[in-house]
A and B are shown apart, each in its own frame.
Chain A
């Protein structure tokens, strides 16, 4: 019994230095290669008895995981930094109007001016309701960069247009090109567009990165200093062409026109408009 015990003790004892050596070798090799490597994680030290029930208690697990050895604290910042990080509570402003001159101290974050008599009821938890900016953007597989699209709505309805890329909001960036059918760099909605199977090779075309949704968004002035009467006139109704739009249009179109010229009759195709006539049924047409 004693002999076996001694033998058993020797074996783990032998194993330990062996492991230690192996362990030492590994970090030394690793340090030679990379300084910090993620340590291999041990499997769960708490075997499962039944679902949700472990063999060992919290305190036993504390000991088993050797958490008494693993106590980390965040490095303490300097007191000076802490003092700086405190946001300004008050601001001093000059006194104007009647009692001119001098200064007064004003709080930046003021106390609420109204407390509701009833507390706001707790909202029920909802799941998966994302705001528009987080929605998944999909693109039909038939629409790839360089596809010729037929616009169905808007002032350019019926015109055939070249697709460039999909923007962040999901709208499609599209161009005539302007010289062919007077469609500028513009956004189009995927749903209101027919994708034809004709594709222009746009592989090397570089589209400037500042062409985003914010670039194309309609601008609206809202400064109702005048009361009634003139409000409807001051808002921008007419669209004004800026020089930046012209330069961007040229930059993109010059590249695309070169590629369009290579395909015979494509230029005339883009110049033409799409229409239905007697005996033409869209569900039977192959686009």
Chain B
């Protein structure tokens, strides 16, 4: 187990619980074994002490000296464009998907169910086609037909998440 993310000055952390749950902060200084001085100018967190336990380290590190004032932290944050980078990570996307799922109304759930059903039908249909080919004709035609039918389910997968997004909206 090699550690890849370290607590350091400029490390961007995600707050998992507490009053600022769900926000990003930068570690400005370490106070003692359990707490850090933390600041989130672009995420609405005032400069304050925060225990490490509620922080989860992200991959992003900013460059500023220790105990730098908020203005410097903000400059570094905006220079690195942390907000956009964060939104592009899988972590943030998973959080967003979870939130959307929780907000789904009864009607949305119905729409998602219908979309999933339709998608699964298409996939099954293609699979059955492939299996038929494999069982009937042998090896030669299988090589020709495989790439064509694999493209079809991938194309159908794209409309499904779009539908889910529409439903969530």
A: which residues have CB within 8 A of B?
148, 150, 160, 196-198, 265-266, 268-269, 272, 274, 284-287
Contact = CB atoms under 8 A, between A and B. Distances in A.
User: 3 closest Cβ contacts across the A-B interface?
Assistant: A198-B107, A196-B106, A269-B110
B105 interface: yes
Interface in B31-71: none
A286 B102 contact: yes
B110 A196 contact: no
A265 B106 CA distance: 13
Query: For this complex, into which size category does the number of interface residues on chain B fall?
Result: under 10
A148 B110 contact: no
B128 interface: no
A287 B105 contact: yes
Interface in B60-113: 102-107, 110-111
Nearest to B115: A265
A284 B105 CA distance: 11
A266 B110 CA distance: 9
B106 A198 contact: yes
B105 A286 contact: yes
A284 to B, nearest CB: 8
Contacts of B111: 265, 269
Contacts of A272: 110
B114 interface: yes
Interface of B: 102-107, 110-111, 114
A196 B107 CA distance: 8
Contact of B104 (A148, A265, A286): A286
8 contacts: A150-B106, A197-B107, A198-B106, A266-B107, A268-B114, A269-B110, A286-B102, A286-B105
A197 B110 contact: no
A274 to B, nearest CB: 7
Contacts, number: 33
A287 B103 CA distance: 9
B114 A197 contact: no
Nearest to B113: A272
Contact of B110 (A268, A284, A285, A286): A268
Contacts of B104: 286
Contacts of A287: 105-106
Contacts of A286: 102-105
A272 to B, nearest CB: 6
Given A198-B105, A287-B106, 12 more contacts: A148-B106, A148-B107, A196-B105, A196-B106, A196-B107, A265-B114, A268-B114, A269-B107, A269-B111, A272-B110, A285-B106, A287-B105
A265 B112 CA distance: 11
User: B102, B106, B110, B111 — which one has the most chain A CB atoms within 10 A of its CB?
Assistant: B106
B113 to A, nearest CB: 9
Contacts of B107: 148, 196-198, 265-266, 269
Contacts of A266: 107
A274 B106 contact: yes
A57 B128 CA distance: 106
Nearest to B111: A265
